Every structure is written in C-alpha cells, then in structure tokens.
Amino acid sequence: MGNPIGKFMDTDNLIFGIGQVSKITGVSSRSLRYWESQGYISTLKSDNEKQTSRQYNVQNLLKIFRIKHFQDEGYTLQGAVEQALKLQEQLPIVKHFMENQIQDIIIEEDRGIIDFGFVDDSKKQKILGIVDRNANSHFEIQDV
C-alpha cells in the first residue's frame, strides 16, 4: 500500500529563508551560518548569482531539526551531525517498510490499531501495532 499523502504534497517546492528556519527550529541564524561554513548543512543554490539570502528546502530543514535534537540530547555538534546522518540513512528503510507493510489503520475510541498484515502465508494470524490514548504502544498477534 503506497502512501496517498505523498501524492498530494510535493515538498520540493517548499522553500524557507534563514529567519524562518531559525524560528521554526530554534537554531540561531548565526549557528546556521556556522553549520553551513563547516559543511554540515547546505543552502539552495540560486540561478541568480547576486542572490545572497540563504534558502533551505524541507530536506535541509529536517536535517537541521535532527542535528538540533541530538545536540539537545547532549551530543557535541560533530556527534550530533554524525547521529543525524545515521538517522537520515535509516529513515528511507523505515519509510519503505511502512509503505509496504501497513495494510490498514483503524481508529477506535480508546486506541489506534495498525494492521501490518498476516504473520505468514497461512493467513491465520495478523500482526497489529496498538497505540493507546497515552501513546503507549505494543504489538499483538490476532487470530483471524
């Protein structure tokens, strides 16, 4: 099952200025310029060579969020960048798995249920991911 939301929103056209990115992420403009000078992040290249304003796309914005998250967790800037890059490599795998394995999402009054499909080819049991109203989650095996 593909992700239908992805078909309706093309994030490649969302562009943010440095002030917006600073406000959204909580990272100062000065830090963003430093991170760029060190090669940790990059800005969009403009066809107009005279344009000096820094602009960022959604992918850059997410990378900045990840770096900031790991810094907030106590990593040095270099360590935060390494962790952010590691996570960036892992996310496509998770995305692919979710797109291919989620069969249905059921919302009940007190919980959400993610149907991951059948355990095996016998189709006698399903794997369900359960998220309760307190955001606690676990898996259950359900006989069909």
Q: Which amino acid is at 107?
A: I
Structural tokens at position 35: 């991170």
**Which pLDDT does position 53 carry in this prediction?**
80
- Distance in Å from the first CA to the final CA of the chain: 20
Q: What is the DSSP letter of 39?
A: T
In the numeric block, the tokens 């998220």 are attached to 131
Burial of 12 by CB count in 10 Å (0-12 exposed, 13-18 middle, 19+ buried)? exposed
Percentages helix, strand, coil for the chain (3-state, rounded to 5) are 45, 25, 30
DSSP element (H, E) containing 53? none
For residues 47 and 113, what is the distance between their CA atoms, to the nearest angstrom? Answer: 47
Which residues of the chain fall short of a pLDDT of 50?
Answer: 1, 5-7
**Which pLDDT does position 45 carry in this prediction?**
75
Each residue's pLDDT tens digit, 114-132? 999 999 999 999 999 999 9
**Which pLDDT does position 4 carry in this prediction?**
52
- Residues 23, 29, 30, 33: is their CA dihedral positive or negative? positive
pTM above 0.75, yes or no: no
**For the chain, what are the domain ranges?**
4-100, 104-143
Topology classification of domain 4-100:
Multidrug-efflux Transporter Regulator; Chain: A; Domain 2 (1.10.1660)
Q: What is the DSSP letter of 91?
A: H
Structural tokens at position 141: 């095996």
Candidates 16, 25, 12, 11; CA nearest to 63 is: 25
**Which pLDDT does position 12 carry in this prediction?**
65
